[in-house]
Structure formats: C-alpha cells, structure tokens
Amino acid sequence: MRLVWFRRDLRTIDNTAFIAAINSNEPVVAAFIATPDSWSQHHMAPMQADLIKRRLFELQNDLASLGVPLIYAETSDYASSVDVVCNWVKQYSVTSVHLNKEYEINEVRRDDKAEQALTRLDVVLHRHDDKCQFIPGSVVNKQGHYFKVFTPYKRAYLQKLEQFPVQVQKVTAVNGQKAKVDECDLFSKDCSFRYPTEESQAYQVSTEQILDQLRSFVKEHSDDYQDERDFPAIEGTSRLSPYLAIGALSVRQCMARLLYQQTAPLSEGRQTWLSELIWREFYQHLLYFEPKLSRGESFLPWGVHLRWENCPRRIKAWQQGQTGYPIVDAAMRQLNQTGWMHNRLRMIVASFLVKDLQVDWRVGEDYFMSKLVDGEYAANNGGWQWCASTGCDGQPYFRIFNPTTQGERFDPKGEFVRRWVPELADLPDKQIHQPSKWLSVKGSSYPAPIVDHKVQREITLANYKNAKDFLDAT
C-alpha cells in the first residue's frame, strides 16, 4: 500500500505526489496531520486554519470519488508528525510514502527526519517537486548561479516555458484496489484542530468553485489586468491566492488556463498576470537557494545594521488601522476583517510600517502571517523584504512611498477608503486622503496622522545610509 502525506497541496488534480502514488496501481491511502504547535510558531492565521479544515472535507470527497480514503491525526508539531506517519506505515503495511516538497527550512528538516525514520523501517519516501512550474534550482544563469534580479530570471523562465510547456496532470481512473483503513483514523466531521479558527466562509472550498473562479478571471479580467490591478476599489485581480497558498489550486493550473488556446502573442494583461505567477516562483526559488531567508535574516547583508524604533503604540495603531493615513487604515481594516489585502495596499502598508514608523519588517511579516488567509512564507517574506529594501531585487531604499499621494493615485475618488473607514464616508473626494485639517474643524473620532511623513522619511534615509556605510566600512 502507498501513503500520500498531504500538507499544503490539498487537491487531487495536478498533485504530483498523489498522481505518482495512484500510477503505482497499488492501493493508496491519503493522510493529513494537523500540527497546531508548529502552525502557531509559524504564525498561521486562524482564518487560514479554518480554510484548510473546510477544504479537507472537499478533498475527502474528491479522494473518495477516486477510491482513496483520507486518514487524519492531530499531533503537536512537525517532529511528532513523523512519528504519526511511521505508526501508520506499520499499522497498514505501507511500502512507500509520497509527499510534495516544501522548501522552507523547518519543513525540509521535517522531511529529512521522515526520510531517516522511514528508511529504518525499510520504506521508501518519494519527495516530489510540485509547488512550482519549474523545480527550484532549475532556472539559473549561464554560470549556473541563481538569479538575483527578477527581470533576467523571468526572461530565462519564459524561454524555458517555451521549451517545456505547462502540463496539468489529472487522475481519471478509480484506484482499483481499495485501501482498507480503520474507521477511527478516518477524517470526520468531528475532527477539530486544537488551533483557533476564524470564519473563512467568504472563500470557496469546492474544487469546481475554485476552478470556476480561475476560469472566469482568465476569461473576463486577465486581458485588463495590467490596467486594473493597481486599484483596490476594483475587482481587478484574481483573488486566487488563498487557494494557491493551501494548494487547493496549482500554479500549473493557473498558467495552463491563462495560456489555453493563445496562439497570438499574449495580451499585455495576460503577460502581466503570468509575470505575477513568476514572481511567486522567484520567491520559492530564492528560499530554496537561501535557507537564511527561512531563518528571518535579511537577504542583503547590511540589513542587519538597520536600527528600528519598534514603538508599541505605533505598531498597535498600524495593526488596528488607526494611523491617521486613510489608505493605510483602510487597508489594515480590510486585512483584519477579511484576511486578504490587495497587493498595492500590501506594498503601501509595509512601506509605511518600515519607513514611516521605523518598525522592523519582521514585525509586519509576522502580523501579516497571523491574519492572512493566503499567508505563504516565501511570498510574504519576499514582499516584506522587497518593501524594506533588504530583499533580493527589492525596492531601492531611497524610494519611499508617500502614503497620501499613493492613496490619491490608486484610490482617486476615495471609494476604497470610504468602504473601510466609515468615519470618512462623508468627506469630499478632495479631502479624503488628507482629512486631518477638515476633521479637526468638524470634530471626529478619526485620528490625526501619528507621524509626519516628511520628517520620518529623512530619518529613514539616514538610517539606511548609515547601515550601508557601516557595512562598507567594515
């Protein structure tokens, strides 16, 4: 019998490990292990935990239609999850275990440990590459080194894509020899994670609904993506990130749908969406090459010399959407209430925390993880380090977003701000991004700006310059 250990790959379609097990023509059992202590160490958002739980029921149905049972256990952490797998292996006389790799350091260590333990039991562990279209380590420059700049990486990536077009694998046949498992091991409605959960009903969990969302985005919005993606008041992006993050959808499914029947050169919108999917791969590849990123270190060495104020009062104001900068506050409230935030806003609020409030980017990174329904280590770390200018091909440190002009540019009529900051709903368009003067006359609960952007900008520039000079001098 073969056992497939599911983690953040909660689907049967285009799941490399699962399909390899099915193709063995042996009975297959699928397994999922909740590890609340490890999730908590990784700041997993309660809303993401809820989404995973709901998705597991769908996965169970999808697996059942293919003749595969889903067994389930809860343990404390990654280390003990290996013991659970070994117990199942003995209990069910499993001969091979299949899993899809995760590239973060703790996850790699867990799988190394599993490999050692299973080898001792004379069981083969098959570790498949599944998360990316191209295996991390396979898109490199002529010298065989990894790319440190996105544009040449993307160029090489696109060339490779022409050579190796996207393929989505499907299982069609039912698993002939049904695996027999104990009732008590089966995933059931009573399974509850010992982990806080927060309602995730706004997000789909059925495979068909998720695929419908992908299809309708590609059909109706992808060609306009380039023009609409930066405006948070418009539904211009796919909102597929929660499903990619838990593996209910694969990146290959997204690319295949985007490129389906596209003979002429892709529209600008489609090209840009493809580019975003490639950014996702870029950060996964970086994680594979640079384990220090999993340890919370900055990519650029001088990042360690930056000084942070980390003022608790300011951090709290940022978290609660009470900074007095409307676009920042609207964005943070969207995050707190829905578990999702528009990409342009993620950049604005991250820049604000780091460069206007002089707070260590890792504080923001952890907070995002604790709230995001789509929290994914590589993309989150990459995004935060990009904004903090400590990352690989990050924003130059002297480019500092002005939160007021960013709001005026990307939410010109204040529609988004009005939606999330009702205190400002009655403000005329002209004042919506600079409400303090108007409100001080009217009297309102909305706070005055907690910092002066101009002043903070100068402090930040000096801080970054010092950090760089310090490293140059040593």
Ligand X SMILES: Cc1cc2nc3c(=O)[nH]c(=O)nc-3n(C[C@H](O)[C@H](O)[C@H](O)COP(=O)(O)OP(=O)(O)OC[C@H]3O[C@@H](n4cnc5c(N)ncnc54)[C@H](O)[C@@H]3O)c2cc1C
What residue has token string 């003995």? 90
Q: Catalytic pick from 318, 340, 361, 386?
A: 361
Minimum distance from residue 462 beta carbon to ligand X (Å): 24
Q: Does 463 participate in binding ligand X (rule CB under 6 A)? A: no
The answer to whether 384 is a known catalytic residue is yes
Asked if 270 touches ligand X (CB under 6 A), the answer is: no
Task: Report whether 268 belongs to an annotated binding site.
Answer: no
Q: According to the binding rule CB under 6 A, does residue 245 interact with ligand X? A: yes
Residue 147 DSSP code: P
Q: Which of 171, 372, 400, 450 binds ligand X (CB under 6 A)?
A: 372
At closest approach, how far in Å is the CB of 55 from ligand X? 16
Is 343 among the catalytic positions? yes
Looking at the DSSP assignment, which residues form a beta bridge with residue 74? Answer: 34
Q: Which of 133, 238, 390, 460 binds ligand X (CB under 6 A)?
A: 238
Do 38 and 106 meet the contact criterion of CB atoms below 8 Å apart? Answer: yes
Are 332 and 321 in contact, with CB atoms under 8 Å apart?
Answer: yes
Find all residues with CB under 8 Å of 428, minimum gap 6, and list them.
none
Ramachandran assignment for 447, one of left (phi > 0), alpha (psi -120 to 50 degrees), beta (any other): beta
Identify whether the C-beta of residue 239 lies closer than 8 Å to the C-beta of residue 341: no
Residue with tokens 């399909």: 19
Torsion sign across C-alpha atoms 138, 139, 142, 144: negative
Closest residue by beta carbon to ligand X: 383
Based on the shown chain and the rule CB under 6 A, indicate whether residue 277 belongs to the binding site for ligand X. yes
Burial-class residue 434 by CB neighbours within 10 Å (0-12, 13-18, 19+).
middle
Cα–Cα–Cα angle for 242, 366, 80, nearest 5°?
Answer: 80
Element (H, E) at 262: none
- Based on the shown chain and the rule CB under 6 A, indicate whether residue 229 belongs to the binding site for ligand X: yes
421 binds ligand X (CB under 6 A): no
The answer to whether residue 154 forms part of the interface with ligand X (CB under 6 A) is: no
Residue 33: DSSP 8-state: E
Instruction: Tell me how far the alpha carbon of residue 193 is from its chain's centroid.
Output: 21
Q: Which amino acid is at 84?
A: V
Binding ligand X (rule: CB under 6 A), the pick from 368, 397, 401, 410 is: 368
Q: Which stretch binds ligand X (CB under 6 A): 31-39, 141-149, 367-375, 439-447?
A: 367-375
52 lies in the site for ligand X, by CB under 6 A: no
Nearer to ligand X, 328 or 347 (CB): 347
Q: Is 308 a catalytic residue?
A: yes
Q: Decide: is 240 part of the binding site for ligand X (CB under 6 A).
A: yes
Q: In this structure, are strands 70-74 and 28-34 parallel, antiparallel, or unpaired?
A: parallel
- What is the DSSP code (8-state) at residue 184? G
Does 281 belong to an annotated binding site?
A: yes
Say which residue the tokens 């990009």 belong to.
386
Can residue 37 be called a binding residue for ligand X (CB under 6 A)? no
Residue numbers 386-405 binding ligand X by CB under 6 A = 387
Report d(CA 347, CA 361) in Å as an integer: 12
| Interface stretch with ligand X, choices 94-102, 141-149, 150-158, 346-354 (CB under 6 A) | 346-354
127 annotated ligand-binding residue:
no
Q: 402 catalytic, yes or no?
A: no
Rule CB under 6 A: choose which of 283, 288, 325, 352 binds ligand X: 283
Phi-psi region of 71 (alpha: psi -120 to 50; beta: other; left: phi over 0): beta
Check binding of 383 to ligand X (CB under 6 A): yes
Q: Is 267 annotated as a binding residue?
A: no
Q: Tell me the CA distances in angstroms from 219 to 86, 103, 223, 241, 280, one per residue in order.
A: 46, 32, 8, 18, 22
Residue 276 sits in the site that holds ligand X (CB under 6 A): yes
Stretch that binds ligand X, among 15-23, 122-130, 239-247, 409-417 (CB under 6 A): 239-247
Check if the beta carbon of residue 303 is closer than 8 Å to that of residue 467: yes
Is residue 269 at the binding interface for ligand X, with CB under 6 A as the rule? no
Binding residues for ligand X, total number by CB under 6 A: 28
The single residue of 343, 402, 423, 466 carrying the catalytic annotation is 343
Is 243 annotated in a binding site? The answer is no
Q: Which two tokens stand for residue 468?
A: 């760089």
- If one asks whether residue 346 binds ligand X (CB under 6 A), the answer comes out as yes
Annotated catalytic residue 279: yes
241 is known to lie in a ligand binding site: yes
278 is in an annotated binding site: yes
SS (H, E, C) 186-199: ECCCCCCCCCCCCC
Q: Rule CB under 6 A: is residue 280 a binding residue for ligand X?
A: yes
Residue 241 interacts with ligand X (CB under 6 A)?
yes
Pairwise CA distance, residues 414 & 350, whole Å: 20
Which residues are part of the catalytic machinery? 276, 279, 308, 343, 361, 384
Q: Which residues would be at the binding site for ligand X (CB under 6 A)?
A: 229, 237-241, 244-245, 276-277, 279-280, 283, 343, 346-347, 350, 368, 372, 374-376, 379-380, 382-384, 387
Annotated binding site for FAD: 225, 237-241, 273, 276-283
Residue list, annotated binding site: 225, 237-241, 273, 276-283
